Amino acid sequence: MIENLAPYGYVLIPIIILLLISIKILREYERAVVFTLGRFTGVKGPGLVIIIPFVQQVVKMELRTIVMDIPAQDVISRDNVSVRVSAVVYFRVITPENAVIQVENYLEAISQLSQTTLRSVLGQHELDEMLAERTKLNTHIQQILDEQTEAWGIKVSLVEIKHIDLNESMIRAIAKQAEAERERRAKVIHAEGEMQAAQKLFEAAEILAQQPQALQLRYLQTLSNIAEENNSTIIFPLPIEFLSVFQKLVK
């Protein structure tokens, strides 16, 4: 019986091999870009995918978000400060056929585009803006990359600047600038306090000038405060009317 089936083995084995080659199983986040005789014929997946061996070829693509580090780039800011900036880009393929047909290697293309865009955008800003407005710069870079990669079927969802490295001399200069700024603010706050105190004293003087009784009460309160202290000062209260007489004589 086995000897009778032996001639069919030469036919069954190639058929089994062809079936194994033609069956592809794709995960939920994978897609197969199918080319039939070199022409794009569709995107298949996920799950079980059957292709025609030697007639159809597939390119497997992932739809998950990819995290790509941008190597540190030498950037000269608008105020001629040299810094090294590194960043990270988050993107994913949304149109698999475009990512295969429109660009040769989309990973390398995004890496190079991200580096040049990072240098170009940051070079238009001063160092203080780089340090204080990272969120704004991240959004600007992300929008530029997203517009450029849209034709490749790729969506850039986020760009984050990781590090802005300065040389030692620039770090010392920034520290001196921050210290000078703190001193300036302290002097401004002190001056504002003196001005407010002077304004309040002026208002109090006007009130006392308009109400002699208030001046007399203030005089008595001052005497009371001095008497409460433990000192050897002897006070002889002087009626406040005498002060007004002296004031008239002076005039």
The model's confidence at residue 114, banded by pLDDT at 50, 70 and 90, is very high
**Share of the chain residues as helix, strand and coil, in percent rounded to the nearest 5:** 55, 25, 20
The residue extents of the domains of the chain are 2-62, 66-166, 172-250
**pLDDT tens, residue by residue, 176-188:** 777 777 788 888 8
pLDDT of residue 2: 46
Report how far apart, in Å, the C-alpha atoms of 194 and of each of 5, 180, 213 are.
110, 21, 28
Instruction: Quote the pLDDT of residue 21.
Output: 81
- Residue-wise pLDDT for 194-224, tens only, equals 888 888 777 776 766 666 656 566 666 665 6
| CATH code 3.30.479.30 for 66-166 | yes
Query: Mean pLDDT, to the nearest integer, of 153-157?
Result: 96
Tokens of 87: 């960043």
- pLDDT bracket for residue 150 (50, 70, 90): very high
Average pLDDT taken over every residue of the chain: 82
pLDDT at residue 41, as a whole number:
94
Query: How confident is the model over 43-96, as pLDDT tens digits?
Result: 998 999 999 888 999 999 999 999 999 999 999 888 888 899 999 999 999 999
pLDDT in tens, 10-25: 667 777 777 778 888 9
Q: Which residues, 6 or more positions from 96, have their beta carbon under 8 angstroms from its beta carbon? A: 31, 33, 43, 61, 63, 153
Q: Which residue has the higher pLDDT, 251 or 199?
A: 199
* pLDDT of res. 215: 58
pLDDT of residue 244: 58
Strand partners for 93: 154
Phi, psi of 232 (to 5 degrees): -100, 15
* pLDDT score, position 14: 74
